[in-house]
């Protein structure tokens, strides 16, 4: 059975650059350069997280919160523990 998990994300669109701010409790805080218009920030978030996790873009998707800063993101191919380890802010 393939691993998968869901994580809570607080997206901050319109930032100067894409950046992972780190975990605040169980929520990952992420700054995105893309504006929150026509789904651009959601697409940028999925692409950014996929790259950061070493996964193909199709393995990451927003399941809840398309029009909100608070989102639930599904990740296929990794366990929650692995996601936390790979997205840990140094």
What's the CATH number where 40 sits? 3.30.1200.10
pLDDT digits (tens, 9 = 90+) for 25-71: 999 999 999 999 999 999 999 999 999 999 999 999 999 999 999 99
pTM of the model: 0.93
Residue 53 CB coordination number (10 Å): 17
Q: Which pLDDT score, from 0 to 100, does residue 88 have?
A: 84
Domain count, the chain: 1
The more confident residue out of 17 and 89 is 17
Domain that holds residue 10: 4-86
What values do phi and psi take at 30, rounded to 5? -135, 130
Over residues 73-86, mean pLDDT: 96
- CB-based contact 44:29 (threshold 8 Å): no
């Amino acid at each position: 059975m393939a691993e998968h998990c869901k994580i809570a994300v607080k997206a901050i669109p319109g930032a100067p650059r894409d950046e992972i701010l780190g975990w605040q409790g169980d929520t990952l805080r992420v700054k995105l350069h893309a504006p929150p218009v026509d789904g651009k920030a959601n697409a940028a978030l999925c692409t950014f997280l996929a790259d950061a996790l070493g996964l193909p873009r199709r393995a990451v998707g927003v399941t809840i919160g398309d029009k909100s800063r608070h989102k639930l993101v599904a990740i296929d191919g990794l366990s929650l523990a692995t996601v936390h380890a790979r997205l840990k802010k140094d």
